[in-house]
Chain A
Amino acid sequence: MSDLRDLYQQTILDHTRKPRNKHEMPDATSTADGHNRLCGDKIRLFLKVNAGIIEDISFTGNGCAISTASASMMTEALKGKSVAEAQPLFELFHTMLTSPMDQEPDLEALNKLAVFSGVREFPVRVKCATLPWHTLQAAIKNQDAPVTTE
Chain B
Amino acid sequence: MTTTTTKPRGSQAAKAPAFDSAAIRSDFPLLQTQSHGKPLAYLDNAATSQKPQAVIAAAARYYTTYNANIHRGVYKLSVDATAAYEAAREKVARFINAPSEREIVFVRGATEAVNLVAATWGMENIHSGDEIVLSEMEHHSNIVPWQLLARRTGAVIKVIAISQHGELAMDHYAQLLSDRTRLVALTHVSNALGTINPIERIVSMAKARGIPVLIDGAQSIPHMAIDVRKIGCDFFVFSGHKLYAPTGIGVLWAKGELLEKMPPYQGGGDMISTVSFAGSTWNDIPHKFEAGTPHISGAIGLGVAIDYLGGIGMDAIAEYEHDLLMYATKQLNRIPGLQIIGTAPEKAAVISFIMENIHPHDIGTIVDGEGVAIRTGHHCCQPLMDHYNIAATARASLAFYNNREDVDRLVAAVEKVKEVFN
Contact = CB atoms under 8 A, between A and B. Distances in A.
Interface of A: 1, 4, 7-8, 13, 16-17, 38-42, 62-66, 68, 122, 124-125, 128
B37 A1 contact: yes
Contacts of B365: 4, 7, 122, 124-125
A89 B22 CA distance: 54
B385 A40 contact: yes
Contacts of B36: 1
A17 to B, nearest CB: 8
Nearest to A122: B365
Contacts of A17: 357
A64 B368 contact: no
B8 interface: no
A4 B359 contact: no
Nearest to A63: B359
8 contacts: A1-B369, A4-B366, A13-B421, A39-B377, A39-B392, A41-B391, A63-B359, A65-B359
B144 to A, nearest CB: 14
Contacts of A4: 365-366, 369, 420
A40 B378 contact: yes
Chain B: interface size category: 20 to 34
Given A8-B420, A128-B361, 15 more contacts: A1-B36, A1-B368, A4-B420, A8-B362, A8-B421, A17-B357, A40-B382, A40-B392, A42-B391, A62-B391, A64-B362, A65-B359, A124-B365, A125-B361, A125-B365
Nearest to B35: A1
A62 B368 CA distance: 22
Given A1-B368, A13-B421, A40 B377 contact: yes
Contacts of B420: 4, 8, 13
A49 B172 CA distance: 51
B360 interface: yes
Contacts of B397: none
B376 interface: yes
B361 A64 contact: yes
Contact of A38 (B377, B382, B385): B377
A42 B389 CA distance: 13
Contacts of B392: 39-40
A28 to B, nearest CB: 24
A40 to B, nearest CB: 4
Interface string B22-61: 0000000000000011000000000000000000000000
Which of A8, A17, A40 has the largest count of B CB atoms less than 10 A from its CB? A40
A59 to B, nearest CB: 15
A148 B368 CA distance: 25
Nearest to B382: A40
B219 to A, nearest CB: 20
A65 B385 contact: no
